Structure 1
Amino acid sequence: MNAIAITQVRNELSNIVNRAFFNERTIIAKKGKNVAAVIGMEDLEFLKNLDDAEDMVLAEMADEAMIDPGENISLQEMKKHFGRC
């Protein structure tokens, strides 16, 4: 993956977008720290589908937990526990 300083993004935006179109990811760094990424639509759709699948699994886990007479937590609490909120 390419990394580029945020100060260079404006001058390179056309090239960054073109590379994303061809499924090349670009990391944007600010003060030496990676803060964002430019990805292609195919990657974005994959991430959306992955997120939706994860939500379904968490919802199923929450539904199953409600049946158990033990301690129960909400879906929001479960997502927070797994760092999804």
Structure 2
Amino acid sequence: MFGFDKMFDFNCDGHLDSFERAAQFQFMDAMMKHEETDSFDEDEEEDVFADAGLDYDELEFMDPDERREVLEDAGLDPDAFDF
């Protein structure tokens, strides 16, 4: 039994039954999907802002009206981004 398998051995018998394996698979699948979508979306938005000469972190902490004005001045659609 691998170290990670022990996390899903709910009945502590030293073996993973079908339910425990399914739980392990579901957990790993959800983690992989979460990592893929989060890192891809964030990196893509940061690239758009960097190309426009803007800093993502600064935009994130701006007041919504100020952010809208800065994005419009940079030629970006403020409604296309979720902060």
TM-score in terms of structure 1 length: 0.38
Which is higher, the Rg of structure 1 or of structure 2? 2
Of structures 1 and 2, the one with the larger relative CO (CA 8 A, separation 6+) is 1
TM-score in terms of structure 2 length: 0.38
Structure with bigger strand share is 1
Structure with bigger helix share is 2
